[in-house]
A and B are shown apart, each in its own frame.
Chain A
Amino acid sequence: QSALTQPASVSGSPGQSITISCTGTSSDVGGYNYVSWYQQHPGKAPKLMIYDVSNRPSGVSNRFSGSKSGNTASLTISGLQADDEADYYCSSYTSTHILVVFGGGTKLTVL
């Protein structure tokens, strides 16, 4: 069982917006602004999409945005495109002894 909870799957049609949630505790998501999001296409290494809750690395489309409320962080993808179909993982710093935790991942299907 992953430390952070994500929905197993979400779907949307091209052009629509979707949101993926990531729920943790006050020891990780809720306590620190160190939430990141990764996109992973099949057979590929993950790619950083959002860091520090809402910041986008250079080169990442502004269709991707992040936010946080309490112990839950969210990734929103607007204007869905076929290439957005992938697995998405959240991650957070944790004040426990292990440093970093990941969510279980969410499979995004673009209908």
Chain B
Amino acid sequence: GAVVSQHPSWVICKSGTSVKIECRSLDFQATTMFWYRQFPKQSLMLMATSNEGSKATYEQGVEKDKFLINHASLTLSTLTVTSAHPEDSSFYICSAEGQGWDQPQHFGDGTRLSIL
């Protein structure tokens, strides 16, 4: 089955640093990938839709200069949290479009980001 690998799974860093999270489709190509954020005891919130070879589409309220998304190939999308602060601490999850119109999205295992 389709596998999405997300790396790293867990990261702790100091306030003010930038953190890059990778999302890879391992055995299929994904023109479209999605980035979500999830706070404790809350549901997933879509941050942006990442399209290969073009600019990402951000949801309302998500700062595009804060959360940089690059989707340079059909198997890799990256999310960079720039100048991270404690309020950016969260669980970040990526997904890739399914292979076929009605097919489900495939999710990574998430990245737990903690900013000190």
Partners in one complex: no
Spell out A's residues near B (CB within 8 Å). Answer: none
